[in-house]
Chains A and B, each alone.
Chain A
């Protein structure tokens, strides 16, 4: 599903964020990227979502070299990936329903299907009742679940999440991670960047540990 081959990434005017990373994630797998902040976890996710491009080396998604995807092809490419962010990136001037519906709207899904699928996604994250509310009226944990609903509503085969539990207390964090596990169980490939080692160990998935842009090792989990 995802393959990194000797990937380097240097941001203009700063040190190397990734220094020759090799990594592979198989279809249907759930993998954690771990390491302290600045280790390169976010950069790896950005390379997967084509928010950034590798300075050298290859990033392959579904066997396709992402270097060959040009600007105009990026939208179609991103629709294959559900993205979840630490700060949720919800739009606060519209309802929860409209936020979750966005990925369906951009593909021109009919209004009837949008309603059905948005409610199904909200149901999966346990927030069916919140559809008419504004994101601001919800707690951080609930906002994150809305963000997850938006990421999965179009049923992408790949889900990536950057510190999805960064602002949450342990109980809420576990709840969010359980959601990801559940999506993984029905076949979605999941890659999560997180520094919450205790939680990750508890879940027991494979881990890719990073430090200073290098791979420290990969651990198949418990």
Chain B
């Protein structure tokens, strides 16, 4: 009979039942594996992982609703973050364009100006110096303005020699530029030292405010995602009450019971993140053309930048982790309430 071998193995039990089972309930080497061997764990995990996906697919509408809420909640901070990084990219273009104009005094000759250039080129705070002599400036002006005849009537060149400086890296912040300008004003025989950095500073300050708003919105909406997933998992647990009760009766650990819910939460988060990514992508596509037009009007070839691979990776990882976290908290809390026997 097929039942024979099992019965035989069983019949050996009464000889050593006490020792065997006593050791088993203690934390001894003979303890039954509450910790499951790794390979068995692996295959089981994989099955649960895929199985949890199947369960979502079994109720597509409910799952879709949850995913949509998560996606929209995550798209907002992701979109704002993108706004900030675009702003930063834009101001980066301006930063490179910062120039300090030094209008030398009238009595400074072109030769003296050339000497100053040589001197400034040794200055470590200066990346580049260009000299626009008074003659060249006048010639350019004559050409572009069409006031040639009027200029000819002037007894002498009214324009000063002009030095155009680009601050070196490390001196191109708003403060660095201001300090450099101040130094030039003192050191050089200049009438005017001009660096129009104030509006760049204002823009940076505003960007800082927006960045803070993004961070706050991000935290709040992340919390929202945790709550959304938590609530969905809570309902899921209520629906699977019988299953959890039976699992507890036969000695399943909390970790074992929690696992499928964690996977479900993970999937919710991941799909929510994908949806958010899609929404952000669509928004960029929709805004690309108008932004290009505005940039074109300002003579800039600025293009909106997308989240990129790294940004997308961070968004997806964050959303998956939030889903996992939400389900962990919810499952741990709600599982406790289900005890067999009451």
Contact = CB atoms under 8 A, between A and B. Distances in A.
B14 A76 contact: no
Contacts of B26: 64
Given A27-B17, A75-B251, A102-B247, 16 more contacts: A1-B17, A27-B18, A28-B14, A62-B22, A75-B248, A78-B250, A80-B25, A83-B250, A91-B242, A93-B243, A106-B251, A108-B33, A108-B36, A120-B3, A157-B21, A188-B10
A129 to B, nearest CB: 13
A102 B246 contact: yes
Contacts of A83: 249-250
> Which secondary structure dominates where chain B touches chain A?
helix
Sort A-B residue pairs by CB-CB distance and give the 3 closest, nearest first: A108-B36, A51-B341, A78-B251
Interface stretch (B40-48, B105-113, B223-231): B40-48
Contacts of B18: 1, 27, 62-63
B247 A120 contact: no
A211 interface: no
A102 to B, nearest CB: 6
Contacts of A170: none
Interface string A93-133: 10000000011011111110000010010011000100000
A221 interface: no
Given A62-B18, A111-B43, A75 B249 contact: no
A178 interface: no
Given A62-B18, A63-B18, A106 B246 contact: no
B6 A120 contact: yes
A28 to B, nearest CB: 5
A204 interface: no
A98 B22 CA distance: 29
A120 B6 CA distance: 7
A79 B7 contact: no
A52 B44 CA distance: 31
B336 to A, nearest CB: 9
Nearest to B243: A91
B256 interface: yes
30 contacts: A1-B18, A49-B249, A51-B340, A63-B18, A63-B22, A64-B22, A75-B248, A75-B252, A75-B256, A76-B31, A77-B251, A78-B248, A79-B250, A83-B250, A89-B245, A89-B246, A90-B246, A91-B242, A102-B247, A106-B250, A108-B36, A120-B2, A123-B3, A124-B3, A155-B6, A155-B10, A157-B13, A186-B7, A186-B13, A187-B17
B20 interface: yes
B11 interface: yes
Interface in B16-67: 17-18, 20-22, 24-26, 31-34, 36-37, 39-41, 43-44
